[in-house]
Amino acid sequence: MSVTILVGGQWGDEGKGKVVDLLADRVDVVVRSQGGNNAGHTVVSEGREFRFHLIPSGILCPDTVCVIGHGVVVDPKAFLAELAHIQAQGVDTRNLVISDRAHMVMPYHPVFDQLGEQQRGDDRLGTTRRGVGPTYEDKVRRIGFRIGDLQKPKFLEKKLRFVLRLKNETLTRLYGAEPFDEQAILDEYIGYGELLDPYIRDIYPLVQGAMVEGRRILLEGAQGVMLDLDLGTYPYVTSSAPTAGGALTGSGIPPSRVTNTVGVFKAYTTRVGYGPFPTELTGELGEYIREVGAEFGTTTGRARRVGWFDAAVARYAVNTNGIESIVLTKLDVLDTLETIKICTGYTSKGERWDHPMANISHLKHAEPEYTELPGWMTPTRQCRSFAELPAPCRDYVEQLAERCGASIDAISVGPDREQTIIRRPLI
């Protein structure tokens, strides 16, 4: 039996989808543990591109059971569209399961997401506007709808009457927006219930059974540690816990069962949306890395902000999540640079910091401290072993490992499955 947690160590988009795809045939069960269709994974397998938002990318492995855990918020419409899309690409989805405890995005949630952003004006967060934040808000407020509610139409109807009255009052009185029609939502969601029925399960017996039977489980986190509600750059964060802790509550697996925690880090840093980003490159170099790295969001198509690798952030992620093993992605994107920088800490108001501070305006103005290394100026996409990488490239990787405090066990040098260097098996 093994339980491996996979977390993004930066601000999301580290390339977790490719890693899950790589590991999927080494595990029996993949559980996606949090987030919603704000996330996006692109996986290239044998030259074919697959895009995932809610469905674990492990689905490309037909024998692996793929679970959408109860920490996830599911937009049924988006889920069904994604399902139809990957089925049309020939993907077998018989092993897909959704927890009946997972909360649902309702039609008013994306509207509240947009209105909330408008209300914040210049201080907006830059959310994906998928309604994920408002869905988690309702979960905490205990007026959320769960996937299992779709199997109880009478209960759904009664609850919707109560909740929609609250929502419509807020929409019309506070925002002067259009109210939602109760019957239309009910009809729509009862229709979803029929389509989703084959996938909905109480995942407790499945997950417990898998542990008892000695199966290998992978917990797939979405987003990244710096977007965590508690550990991240609050309020410029997502509304769930993309950490090792979140992976456990989102799947129902106890900490004592965890075998190892793998962190995925990009060889540089990106961030989508607003909020502090100390190592951001706003000039031509940033633009160049964005183009070479194709740093445009899978979910929203937004241009990602780009910067140097921030080892202060990475070490913070390693230490707060117990990351023992790192997968470094997109190393090839740096192939043409003459020099490369690593941020080792910051100075703010005359004080030195070796980790990101809570005070967001201090972090915004923090002066990064850099160490500079020579680039390797050689293509690495064909390399399949660490020894094949050019010496300055190996130095860069070793420096990152030392500064992060964890070993770099796998390196991705291109989008395809094959373009990967495995130094030590992750599972």
10 near ligand IMP, rule: CB under 6 A:
no
SS3 assignment, position 36:
coil
The backbone region for 152, taken as left when phi is positive above 0, alpha when psi lies in -120 to 50, beta otherwise, is beta
Can you tell me which of 111, 125, 264, 404 binds ligand IMP, judged by CB under 6 A? 125
Which range in 126-134, 257-265, 320-328, 366-374 contacts ligand IMP by CB under 6 A?
126-134
Q: The dihedral of CA 219, 50, 192, 157: what is its sign?
A: positive
Q: Which residues are registered as beta bridge partners of 371?
A: 342
73 near ligand IMP, rule: CB under 6 A:
no
Can you tell me which of 4, 10, 12, 353 binds ligand IMP, judged by CB under 6 A? 12
Closest by CA position to 168, among listed 156, 181, 184: 181
Closest by CA position to 86, among listed 139, 131, 41, 130: 41
Residue at token pair 């961030």: 271
218 near ligand IMP, rule: CB under 6 A:
no
Q: Which is nearer to ligand IMP, 148 or 242 (CB)?
A: 242
CA–CA separation, 324 and 289 (whole Å)? 28
242 near ligand IMP, rule: CB under 6 A:
no
Task: Please report, for residues 99, 242, 348, 388, the alpha-carbon distance to residue 250 in angstroms, rounded to integers and kept in the order given.
Answer: 10, 10, 36, 40
Number of residues that bind ligand IMP (CB under 6 A): 21
Residue at token pair 């996830």: 72
Please, what is the minimum distance in Å from the beta carbon of residue 347 to ligand IMP?
A: 26
Which range in 75-83, 129-137, 194-202, 286-294 contacts ligand IMP by CB under 6 A?
129-137
* Contacts (CB under 6 A) with ligand IMP, residues 131-160: 132-133
269 near ligand IMP, rule: CB under 6 A:
no
276 near ligand IMP, rule: CB under 6 A:
no
Can you tell me which of 68, 150, 171, 227 binds ligand IMP, judged by CB under 6 A? 227
For the question of residue 13 being annotated catalytic, the response is yes
Nearest 5°: the CA angle 223, 229, 234 is 105
126 near ligand IMP, rule: CB under 6 A:
yes
* Contacts (CB under 6 A) with ligand IMP, residues 27-46: 38-40
Report residue 305 as tokens.
């902000």
Strands 325-329 and 260-266: parallel
Can you tell me which of 272, 328, 397, 426 binds ligand IMP, judged by CB under 6 A? 272
110 near ligand IMP, rule: CB under 6 A:
no
Q: Which is nearer to ligand IMP, 69 or 148 (CB)?
A: 69
57 near ligand IMP, rule: CB under 6 A:
no
Closest by CA position to 75, among listed 41, 111, 45: 111
Q: Exactly one of 21, 28, 41, 109 is catalytic; which is it?
A: 41
Please, what is the minimum distance in Å from the beta carbon of residue 123 to ligand IMP?
A: 13
Can you tell me which of 10, 33, 128, 412 binds ligand IMP, judged by CB under 6 A? 128
Q: Which is nearer to ligand IMP, 286 or 345 (CB)?
A: 286
For the question of residue 41 being annotated catalytic, the response is yes
Q: Which is nearer to ligand IMP, 273 or 345 (CB)?
A: 273
Please, what is the minimum distance in Å from the beta carbon of residue 283 to ligand IMP?
A: 22
CA–CA separation, 115 and 134 (whole Å)? 11
Give the full edge-to-edge strand order of the sheet including 65-68: 200-201, 96-99, 65-68, 29-32, 216-220, 2-8, 260-266, 325-329, 407-412, 420-422
Q: Which is nearer to ligand IMP, 226 or 408 (CB)?
A: 226
329 near ligand IMP, rule: CB under 6 A:
no
Please, what is the minimum distance in Å from the beta carbon of residue 56 to ligand IMP?
A: 14
239 near ligand IMP, rule: CB under 6 A:
yes
Question: Omega of the bond prior to 425 within 30 degrees of 0, cis?
Answer: no
Taking the CA atoms of the chain, what radius of gyration do you get in angstroms?
22
CA–CA separation, 320 and 4 (whole Å)? 16
Residue at token pair 């049924």: 76
Give yes or no for a contact between 408 and 401, defined as CB atoms under 8 angstroms apart: yes
Q: Which is nearer to ligand IMP, 210 or 222 (CB)?
A: 222
Give yes or no for a contact between 235 and 125, defined as CB atoms under 8 angstroms apart: yes
User: What does the binding site for ligand IMP look like in residue numbers (CB under 6 A)?
Assistant: 11-13, 38-40, 125-128, 130, 132-133, 222-223, 227, 236, 238-239, 272-273
What residues are labeled active site? 13, 41
